[in-house]
């Protein structure tokens, strides 16, 4: 009898293993059904709308129904279902657009839709403002995290890709989420690291002189954009002058380990370390990377001024502005999807404001805010037309053959809490100014 | 019915009602042009239900009839499924194999319900196994498992399964004298069984039918486990662990030595190779998702256009047309067949071991098919018992179910006594 029971127990064990496997299968199917449907050609997709209900993506769109260039300002951000581009809102959120439900299956005329935070009119205005220049502009509400404008030029017309091979470089990626050389906008991060390490009072007391050229401890030459020099400056004037020799000397006085630690806390990949992931509604966003090996050495100093091998994404530059503007130790995480409709038309997935560590303290943020506001007040408020805290930058790219203009900052107005970052590519002549783009962008958002 | 307190009338109505509901689903949700398309299927299903219910009621007595009814329920569900794939019709070939399965179930039940008779025929089991192996070697094509006779294809290796399960059961049903081989005390029966398994293994490998190997391995593994623990565990836990480790190493070595197409299936990322090695599984998973909980409707499936839609990935085909819920339900019915012997418990060690072997075969086959097609494990070409199309497979499943029945309605008379009793009855009848 005992032996019979042993056989029975073995049978029970086999059945139990099988049933556990079936449970895993059920879980797998339920959790991955939307993913399977992404590969299926038998499901219709819904539309993507902006904050005012304007269409940003329609799977049935034609040039006749919308106009030939209707989607051109959001092509590489919103994308489409064709698979030509990845890391776009549509490609990364197909499950939200599918007229599909794991219980009821496919619905031919479903009401699935994604409602974004974007302002299409403002977006198109900013896109047009770039004129013949390429670059990117991104702006968001630094209190809620809603992305209002996100433009990247050159862009793609999803209604007519044309010959993909002959498209200009960068057409199929949204540059706001990809690495750029930050130029002097990097001095915001370096200042944050200096204040974290030395304290604001100590930094405020620092006085360094600039003669146009500075030779560091190893004898390397650091050039200032002002060949005649800025003379002796404190942090406020050096920040406004974007003085390279000042910041080279500041970096030289910092401890390498502390510098690295602050950079890492801010999200940088330092010397090849892994940076924490950053995603905006499943769109992957590059954070930042830098090579910091010796505070006395040229490349490290130059890297702390946004050159050498330092790279940051405009989105990340904008995010730090939220912490500074809010005088907080946390940044407001940006998002594009405000809410969605399922295939029955029910509202789902309402966005919530989320935060993450800024990598520096609230006091540091408050100090930087003062420095940036002073810069804005003295140089930019008049041009931009809003009370802003800003930092400009000029990034030498392609081994110095080309220069990009950058401007990052925030509006100091609780009724209009906007943080932004603008990059204009190949703007060595300065014919197009980043502050004018910012002015147009802010006005367009406010309308 | 006997043990489970299920009455003949009630259970008959239950089976008929289930098939009625399914046919109603075909009527109201099915993909057909003319209502007359459903008529042959309806007549066939209800005819089989009624004829079989009458036959098993009056043909001979059993201690329980639940397995019969469950089998009938599953088989006619299977006929309805197979008749609806890609459009409503009537799967006549599948219907015939289902009838054959029911007949084979009864024959196997009669053959195996008396364990003493099986034991007396033990040497013939080896002969049958030998004959099947020779048939595979000489009657099939080059490195194939199929014998083609006109329009009919037979897979002899399928028939090895019930024979092997019976060999396992007869080899461990009682204590045998043991010899020490290396560190193990083993009986002659176990050596013979091991050789038989090894021969089957080599043959399957040679024929590149690796999908069936786990089925035999499961039956053999269960038998070995019972043998070494009979009447109580003779090995230390260390030895058992060593044996398990040895088994794992053997599997790993076999995986490394497997043919290229097998290795490709072991390592393929199906979503990276949706038009290559991952084609069937991707299509199967998409079909499950498209079917959702309630399915697209009988006959509206598209998966039937994918090779092996009615055999190797039949679970997904059912999911697509009938929904995930119905597919799970039918699998639950098949599993219930294996649970029944735990309610109507076997009364001998032979029957307990036989039931265990059948359960191992069914479970492994279902697991390989369902989990393989859904990408939980590497994909193999085996069938789901009773659900997949396939003559040999269906007949063998019927035979194995007969063995399950035998485990629940055993006879314990010695064969010679039984013969005398039969002769006496004949004399009385003649008089």
- This complex has an ipTM of 0.90
Which chain B residues touch A6 with a CB distance below 8 Å? 226, 229-230
Contact B285 A103 (CB under 8 A): no
Residue B76 confidence (pLDDT) above 50: yes
Domain extent for B350: 2-430
Write the burial class of residue A157 (CB in 10 Å: 0-12 exposed, 13-18 middle, 19+ buried): middle
Taking the C-alpha atoms of residue B82 and residue B94, their distance in angstroms, rounded to an integer, is 7
Q: What is the pLDDT of residue B417?
A: 66
Secondary structure (3-state) at A136? strand
Chain A hits for B370, CB-CB cut-off 8 Å, are 21-22, 25
pLDDT value, residue A401: 72
Judge whether B60 and B105 are in contact, CB under 8 Å.
Answer: no
> Are the C-beta atoms of A361 and A369 separated by less than 8 Å?
no
Contact A41/B at CB under 8 A: no
Identify which of A366, A408, A415 has the alpha carbon closest to the alpha carbon of residue A388.
Answer: A408
Any alpha helices (H) in A40-84, and if so which ranges?
63-66, 75-78
Q: Testing the interface with A: which of B289, B301, B344, B404 to mutate, by most A Cβ within 10 A? A: B289
Is residue B228 pLDDT above 70, yes or no? no
Residue with tokens 């289930």: B18
Nearest residue on chain B to A32, judged by CA atoms?
Answer: B289
| Interchain contact, B293 vs A3, CB within 8 Å | no
Q: What is the pLDDT of residues B375-408, one digit of tens each?
A: 898 888 889 999 999 889 999 999 999 999 998 8
Residues of chain B found within 8 Å of residue A12, distances taken between Cβ atoms: 342
> What residues of A are in contact with residue B356 (Cβ under 8 Å)?
7-8, 10-11
Of A13-27, B205-219, B319-333, least confident by mean pLDDT is B205-219
Ranking A128-132, B189-193, B353-357, B372-376 by mean pLDDT, the lowest is: B189-193
- Low-confidence residues of chain A, pLDDT below 50? none
Domain count, chain B: 1
User: B83: helix, coil or strand?
Assistant: helix
Inspect the interface and report whether the beta carbons of A10 and B271 lie closer than 8 Å.
no
Has residue B163 got a pLDDT over 50?
A: yes
Contact residues, chain A, for B295 at CB < 8 Å = 105
| CA distances from residue B146 to A287, B128, B157, B163, B254 in whole angstroms, order as listed | 60, 17, 8, 18, 24
Contacting residues of B for A17, CB less than 8 Å apart = 363, 367
- Asked if B328 and A22 come within 8 Å (Cβ–Cβ), the reply is yes
Domains annotated for chain A, with CATH where assigned, are 176-334+356-446 (3.40.710.10)
Average pLDDT value for residue range B309-338: 95
User: Any CB–CB contact under 8 A between A6 and chain B?
Assistant: yes
Q: Report CB contact under 8 Å: B376, A26.
A: no
Q: Is A28 on the interface with B (CB under 8 A)?
A: yes
pTM (2 d.p.) = 0.76
């Amino acid at each position: 009898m005992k032996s019979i029971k042993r056989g029975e127990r073995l049978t029970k064990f086999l059945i139990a293993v099988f049933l556990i496997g079936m449970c895993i299968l059920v879980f797998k199917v339920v959790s991955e059904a939307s993913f399977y449907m992404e590969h299926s050609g038998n499901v219709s997709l819904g539309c993507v709308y902006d904050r005012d209900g304007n269409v940003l993506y329609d799977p049935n769109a034609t040039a006749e129904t919308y106009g030939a260039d209707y989607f051109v300002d959001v092509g590489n951000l919103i994308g489409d279902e064709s698979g030509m581009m990845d890391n776009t809102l549509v490609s990364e959120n197909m499950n939200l657009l599918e007229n599909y439900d794991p219980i009821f299956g496919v619905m031919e005329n479903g009401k699935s839709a994604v409602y974004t935070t974007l302002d299409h009119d403002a977006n198109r205005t900013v896109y047009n403002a770039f004129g013949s220049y390429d670059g990117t502009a991104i702006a968001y509400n630094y209190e809620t995290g809603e992305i209002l404008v996100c433009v990247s030029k050159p862009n793609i017309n999803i209604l007519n890709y044309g010959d993909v091979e002959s498209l200009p470089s960068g057409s199929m990626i949204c540059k706001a989420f990809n690495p750029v050389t930050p130029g002097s906008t990097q001095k915001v991060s370096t200042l944050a690291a200096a204040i974290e390490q030395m304290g604001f009072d100590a930094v405020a007391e620092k006085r360094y002189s600039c003669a146009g050229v500075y030779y560091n401890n190893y004898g390397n030459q650091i050039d200032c954009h002002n060949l005649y020099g800025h003379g002796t400056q404190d942090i406020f004037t050096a920040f406004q002058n974007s003085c390279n020799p000042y910041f080279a000397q500041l970096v030289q006085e910092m401890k390498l380990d502390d510098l690295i630690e602050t950079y890492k806390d801010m999200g940088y990949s330092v010397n090849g370390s892994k940076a924490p992931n950053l995603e905006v509604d499943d769109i992957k966003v590059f954070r930042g990377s830098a090579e910091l090996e010796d505070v006395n050495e040229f490349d490290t100093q130059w890297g702390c001024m946004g050159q050498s091998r330092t790279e940051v994404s405009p989105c990340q530059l904008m995010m730090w502005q939220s912490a500074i503007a809010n005088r907080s130790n946390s940044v407001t995480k940006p998002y594009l999807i405000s809410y969605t409709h399922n295939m029955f038309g029910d509202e789902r997935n309402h966005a919530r404001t989320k935060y993450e560590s800024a990598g520096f303290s609230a006091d540091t943020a408050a100090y930087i805010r003062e420095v940036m506001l002073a810069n804005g007040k003295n140089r930019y408020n008049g041009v931009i037309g809003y009370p802003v805290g800003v930092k400009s930058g000029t990034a030498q790219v392609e081994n110095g053959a080309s220069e990009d203009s950058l401007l990052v900052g925030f509006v100091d107005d609780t009724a209009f809490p906007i943080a932004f970052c603008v990059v204009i590519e190949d703007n060595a002549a300065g014919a197009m100014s980043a502050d004018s783009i910012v002015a147009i962008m802010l006005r367009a958002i406010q309308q | 019915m006997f043990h489970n307190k299920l009455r003949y009338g009630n259970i008959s109505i239950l089976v008929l009602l289930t098939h009625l509901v399914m046919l109603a689903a075909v009527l109201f949700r099915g993909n057909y042009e003319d209502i007359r398309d459903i008529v042959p299927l309806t007549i066939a299903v209800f005819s089989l239900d009624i004829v079989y219910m009458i036959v098993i009621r009056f043909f001979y007595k059993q201690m329980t009839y639940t397995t019969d009814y469950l089998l009938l329920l599953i088989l006619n569900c299977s006929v309805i499924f197979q008749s609806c794939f890609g459009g409503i019709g009537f799967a006549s070939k599948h219907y015939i194999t289902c009838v054959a399965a029911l007949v084979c179930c009864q024959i196997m039940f009669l053959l195996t319900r008396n364990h003493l008779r099986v034991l007396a025929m033990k040497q013939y089991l080896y002969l049958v196994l030998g004959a099947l192996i020779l048939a595979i070697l000489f009657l099939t094509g080059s490195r194939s498992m199929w014998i083609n006779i006109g329009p009919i294809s037979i897979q002899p290796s399928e028939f090895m399964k019930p024979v092997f399960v019976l060999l396992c059961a007869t080899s461990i049903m009682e204590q045998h004298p043991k010899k020490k081989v290396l560190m193990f005390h083993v009986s002659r029966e176990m050596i013979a069984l091991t050789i038989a398994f090894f021969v089957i293994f080599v043959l399957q490998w040679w024929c590149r039918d690796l999908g069936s190997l786990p089925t035999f391995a499961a039956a053999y593994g269960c038998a070995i486990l019972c043998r070494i623990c009979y009447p109580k565990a003779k090995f230390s836990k260390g030895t058992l662990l060593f044996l398990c480790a040895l088994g794992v190493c053997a599997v790993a070595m076999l995986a490394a030595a497997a043919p290229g197409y097998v290795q490709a299936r072991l390592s393929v990322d199906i979503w990276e190779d949706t038009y290559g090695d991952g084609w069937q599984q991707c299509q199967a998973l998409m079909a499950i998702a498209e079917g959702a909980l309630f399915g697209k409707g009988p006959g509206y499936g598209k998966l039937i256009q994918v090779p092996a839609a009615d055999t190797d990935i039949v679970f997904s085909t059912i999911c697509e047309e009938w929904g995930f819920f119905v597919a799970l339900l039918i699998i639950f019915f098949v599993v219930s067949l294996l649970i029944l012997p735990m309610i109507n418990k076997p009364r001998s060690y032979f029957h307990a071991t036989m039931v265990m072997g059948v359960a191992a075969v069914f479970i492994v086959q279902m697991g390989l098919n369902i989990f393989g097609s859904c990408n939980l494990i590497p994909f193999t070409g085996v069938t789901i018992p009773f659900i997949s199309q396939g003559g040999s497979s269906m007949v063998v499943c019927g035979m194995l179910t007969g063995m399950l029945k035998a485990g629940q309605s055993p006879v314990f008379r010695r064969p010679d006594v039984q013969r005398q009793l039969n002769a006496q009855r004949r004399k009385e009848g003649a008089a």
